[in-house]
Structures are given as C-alpha cells and as structure tokens.
Amino acid sequence: MNTRKLLVNLAAAVTIVFSGQNLLAADAKTILGPLKEARPDLHYGEPTASPIPGLYEVQVQGGPSILVSEDGRYFIAGDVFELRGTTVINIAEQKRSVERKAELASLDPAETIVFKPSGETKAVITVFTDVDCGYCRKLHNEIAEMNDLGIEVHYLAYPRAGLGSPSYRKIATAWCSDNRQEALTRLKNGENLKDNVCEPNPVARHMAMGERFGVSGTPALVLEDGTMIPGYRPAKDLASMLGI
C-alpha cells in the first residue's frame, strides 16, 4: 500500500474508532492505542517528543512519521517547519537527512554500481535509478563529465514499475552481470540484454531503502550529508551544489 493510501485509510479508521470516546491522560499506551486499534496490521515506534507542545512523533514501520495528539485521537502527516526570523527550516527533512546519512554509511558498497573519477574524488552522490527513466538516462549520459569534475556516482536500483516488472528484470540483469557498469550503460542506452535475474539480488532492498528515504521518482540523488535532491540536475549544477 502506498503512503498516501495508508494515511487515508488510517485517518478514516481512527475517526471511526474514537467517535464519542473520552480522552485519556498522555502516555505511550494512550498515544498508540487508537492507532493500534484502528490499524493493528501496522507496527509503530515508541512516541517521542516533537518540537510542538502536545504532539508526539510516531514512526510507522515501513511508512511515514506522523505527529499524534497526547490523547491519541488525532494525527498529522507532513513536515514540521520552524520559523527563525526570516529563515524557514524543515525540521522533518533535517531529521531524515541524518537518518539517510547513517543508513548509507551502513550500506555494503558491493551492492552499488560505482562510477569513479580517474583522479581525485571530491564528492560522492548516491543515485536511485531506473533504466527506463528518461531523465535517469540523461543523467547517466553525463557520468563522464561528473567523473571529470571529481564526482563519484554510486547507483542504487529503483525500478518505478515495481518488482517483477520488465524494468525490474532489466535493472536486476545489470546488477547480476559480470560487468555491472557496462550492462547498466547499455541498458540506459536502450539496448536489449537477455534477462539474467540472479537470486539473491539487492533490488528489493534498494527499493525498500528508497521508500524509507522518501523517493517518489527517479532519478533521486542523495548527497553525503543525507540531503536528497529529486530529479535530474546537470553535472555542472551538481558540482556547484557540492562546492566543487
């Protein structure tokens, strides 16, 4: 179930469950009770204090982080912003960046397809990619330019059509190839390669990671500090963003 549908169903269920009931004192059991009663099939993390008084942050396993009222009756899905003078800060995105950075640090490099500069690596970007995505192909056409600028590219698989789709079989074939770089490049150039879907392969894990990261389309670029940049960016623009 996608995130939007999950939230709609969850909101409807909570409304039905709590219609006309008395409010309870704020504690973990009270905060989580309505969620668990409405959607017992989902798993929830322990509530933690949020920057907004009276609201608690709860992570839905495999889904979004939501803000829940202390009585457990109401929840809000969406980012929290803080105003500091003339600056608007996305607190939720700051937290996600920290989490992305930590998860990327724990990723086995052998699961990625890497295109390294021949000289000094000045910055590293991680890219969730789909071989049938036009802008993914456009970005890949600039791999040599990015490498020349000192940008090292680590690819993760994110076939938008889902597991078992033709796009999945293509990108899994690249990951199962003896020469992953060559296979990925040929597929992005529109060549047809014979399906070679080995088991196990990391594509499902990459897709799950993308969901946790908030990937909604491809290409999705993640910088070393965990910042995510959706969509295609020209090589020179990326270099500027990276301070190169």
The catalytic site residues sit at: 130, 133, 136, 160
Q: How far is CA 105 from CA 102, 215, 229, in A?
A: 5, 18, 18
Enter the tokens of residue 64.
């979004």
Do residues 233 and 146 lie in contact, with contact meaning Cβ atoms separated by under 8 Å? Answer: no
SS3 call for 210: helix
If 0-12 CB within 10 Å is exposed, 13-18 middle and 19+ buried, where does residue 134 land?
exposed
Q: How many residues does the chain have?
A: 244
Enter the tokens of residue 29.
């059991």
